[in-house]
Amino acid sequence: MQKNIWIIDDEQAICWALKKAIDQAGYRATTFANAEDALKVLNSTTQLDAVMLDMRMPGMDGFAATAEIKKRQPDVPIIMMTAFGDLSSAIQAMEFDIFEYLTKPFDLTDVLKALTKALATRDHFPSSTYPIEPWHYDTLLGSSPAMQQVYKQIAMAAKCDVPVLIHGPSGTGKESIASAIHKHSRRSEAPFLTFSPLSIPPIALAIELLGSSLGQTSSQRTDKSGAFELVGRGVLFIDEVSDLTKSLQAQLLRVLEQKTYLPLGDSTPRRCEARIMASTTRNLLTAVEEGDFLEELQQQLSVLSIEVPPLSERPSDILPLAYSLLRSRVEPSNVHFTPEAETWLTNQPWAGNLRELQIAIDHALVVAKNHRIGVDDLIRVAQSTTTMEMDDHSALAEEVRRWIREHLQRLENSGRRVSVGNDEDFFGTMYEDFLSSVEPSLLRGMLFEFQGNRAAIAAQLGIHRSTLRQKMRRYKIE
């Protein structure tokens, strides 16, 4: 029997084009200029196989119409059409059991693909029983096709309870995506905990993740809760999961497969009911091939993957993001970009993505005059991030001595300077502090000299490539 498809849209040109394409595909299309007219004949319709409707129409909007249609024919798949696609719309679409939503302008080929899938199954997304509230994210904005896909994937991830892997360049807002999924999921009332291996000293990494039960006797035993325990039934977001050691990767795999893990110093497995989300800037398949990552863990984490596009691939989203970030810092009417600055912002590559854009805006707010941010206010920060001041060798020793004197004085003032009389178990952090001061300049200088060839840089420094990657991520060096 010929499939009966309804098209509900107040734009006659849209109705005409869709009807022509759908009729030519072998289906029977019926058009309505508004939802009210369609609902009047819904009860008398014996066969309705799919509905395509606009989200915003005069009178009853698409979501209200969807609710009425679902009351009377709950199994009918609905394809929403909108010129205003954003995260909130994607979440609402999932909540209303909408099969798919298409962002205008769309290609008729994509319409027919979505329609074919909708007709093939009527239970693609199970109905939800939990409420969703609109939520705004400064870093999750944009109407580009790439971001539309991200919104859909966030909505799908919020509906299920599987692991999620978020992949993309540094500074693209991967943690915001994980947080959005959690906010709109059944676990939204449970904790959301971020675990970042780069921010934890290697010696403490296992303890912070697994917890510990250490001590030779029961009287000496001290328990420390790790992230697996602290998060409870919430979401544990592991930022840059590829930086976990192999042993911790194995523990994470055990959590995903068996819902158990072993704290340090304990032989009794403990339960972990958390949902695991993770991010990575690396291609995990490549990491597996290089022996840096467990293949089984890569497979478990990739049940649902979200690819986050860099800003360079969605220039139309840059200005909305820039203004959103600007308004998060100042009153809406106080500061604005000049037309020249808007053009400059749009045309920049933004290799550091959202993070670099935020730094540029913060800097401009300090130096801008008369509440107008011009190109010069923004271009200075771009130049300053690439300018390297290379001290000559004759000044290096004196510069190090000056740093030591000043740093020791700061430690003295804060009561953290170690003296001979201190407990020998008390250790200072001056060495790590010094490395944190000089390593970024060293790495940036090597990047400049070797034109970004990381293999050559690692070889020249005498360190492994994975160590170089970790250091560059630690200091946010692209």
Q: Please tell me the predicted confidence (pLDDT) of residue 130.
A: 25
**Mean pLDDT confidence for 100-127:** 69
Domain that holds residue 248: 149-307
Q: Is residue 64 part of a domain?
A: yes
- Residue 87 confidence (pLDDT) above 90: no
> Backbone dihedral region of 427: left (phi > 0), alpha (psi from -120 to 50 degrees) or beta?
beta
Q: Do 182 and 260 have their domain in common?
A: yes
Q: Is residue 136 part of a domain?
A: no
Q: 86-95, 124-133, 377-386, 418-427: which range is least confident on average?
A: 124-133
Q: 25-29, 127-131, 307-311: which range is least confident on average?
A: 127-131
- Residue 272 confidence (pLDDT) above 90: yes
**Mean pLDDT confidence for 248-263:** 93
Q: Please tell me the predicted confidence (pLDDT) of residue 162.
A: 93
Q: Do 242 and 93 have their domain in common?
A: no
Q: Do 58 and 204 have their domain in common?
A: no
> Backbone dihedral region of 421: left (phi > 0), alpha (psi from -120 to 50 degrees) or beta?
alpha
Q: Do 357 and 468 have their domain in common?
A: no
- pTM across the whole model: 0.57
Give the count of domains, the chain.
4
Higher pLDDT, 254 or 1: 254
Q: Please tell me the predicted confidence (pLDDT) of residue 134.
A: 32
Q: Do 303 and 154 have their domain in common?
A: yes
**Mean pLDDT confidence for 415-434:** 62
Q: 33-37, 57-61, 138-142: which range is least confident on average?
A: 138-142
**Mean pLDDT confidence for 335-354:** 88
Higher pLDDT, 124 or 190: 190
Q: Please tell me the predicted confidence (pLDDT) of residue 386.
A: 44
**Mean pLDDT confidence for 445-453:** 81
Q: Is residue 339 part of a domain?
A: yes
Higher pLDDT, 54 or 103: 54
Q: Please tell me the predicted confidence (pLDDT) of residue 238.
A: 94
**Mean pLDDT confidence for 243-250:** 89
Q: Please tell me the predicted confidence (pLDDT) of residue 206.
A: 84
- Residue 217 confidence (pLDDT) above 70: no
Q: Do 319 and 267 have their domain in common?
A: no
Higher pLDDT, 95 or 187: 187
Q: What is the pLDDT of residues 173-215, one digit of tens each?
A: 899 899 999 988 999 889 999 998 876 766 678 888 988 875 4
Q: Do 162 and 236 have their domain in common?
A: yes
Q: Please tell me the predicted confidence (pLDDT) of residue 387.
A: 40
Q: What is the pLDDT of residues 456-478, one digit of tens each?
A: 888 788 887 778 888 888 888 87
Structure tokens at 65: 């119409």
Structure tokens at 347: 């045309």
Single-letter code of the amino acid located at 181:
I
Domain end marker among 307, 340, 361: 307
CATH code of the domain containing 365: 1.10.8.60
Q: Is residue 206 part of a domain?
A: yes
Distance CA 195, CA 128 (A): 29
First to last CA, the chain: 58
Distance CA 443, CA 447 (A): 6
Q: Is residue 131 part of a domain?
A: no
Q: 6-15, 161-170, 325-334, 378-387: which range is least confident on average?
A: 378-387
Q: What does pLDDT average to over the chain?
A: 80
pLDDT band at 280 (very low <50, low <70, confident <90, very high): very high
Helix/strand/coil (H, E, C) string of the chain?
A: CCCEEEEECCCHHHHHHHHHHHHHCCCEEEEECCHHHHHHCCCCCCCCCEEEEECCCCCCCHHHHHHHHHHHCCCCCEEEEECCCCHHHHHHHHHCCCCEEEECCCCHHHHHHHHHHHHHCCCCCCCCCCCCCCCCCCCCCCCCHHHHHHHHHHHHHHHCCCCEEEECCCCCCHHHHHHHHHHCCCCCCCCEEEECHHHCCHHHHHHHHHCEEECCCCCCCEEECCHHHHCCCCEEEECCHHHCCHHHHHHHHHHHHHCEECCECCCCCEECCCEEEEEECCCHHHHHHCCCCCHHHHHHHCCEEEECCCHHHCHHHHHHHHHHHHHCCCCCCCCEECHHHHHHHHHCCCCCHHHHHHHHHHHHHHHCECCEECHHHHHHHHHHCCCCCCCCHHHHHHHHHHHHHHHHHHHHHHCCCCCCCCCCCCCCCHHHHHHHHHHHHHHHHHHHHCCCCHHHHHHHHCCCHHHHHHHHHHCCCC
Higher pLDDT, 260 or 106: 260
Q: Do 107 and 196 have their domain in common?
A: no
Q: Please tell me the predicted confidence (pLDDT) of residue 417.
A: 66
Q: Do 161 and 283 have their domain in common?
A: yes
Q: Do 170 and 274 have their domain in common?
A: yes
Contacts of 209 (CB under 8 A, 6+ apart): 195, 226, 227, 228, 244, 248, 251
Distance CA 141, CA 151 (A): 9
**Mean pLDDT confidence for 436-446:** 84
Q: Do 291 and 353 have their domain in common?
A: no
**Most confident range, picked from 11-15, 211-215, 294-298, 330-334:** 294-298
Q: Do 180 and 297 have their domain in common?
A: yes
CATH code of the domain containing 460: 1.10.10.60
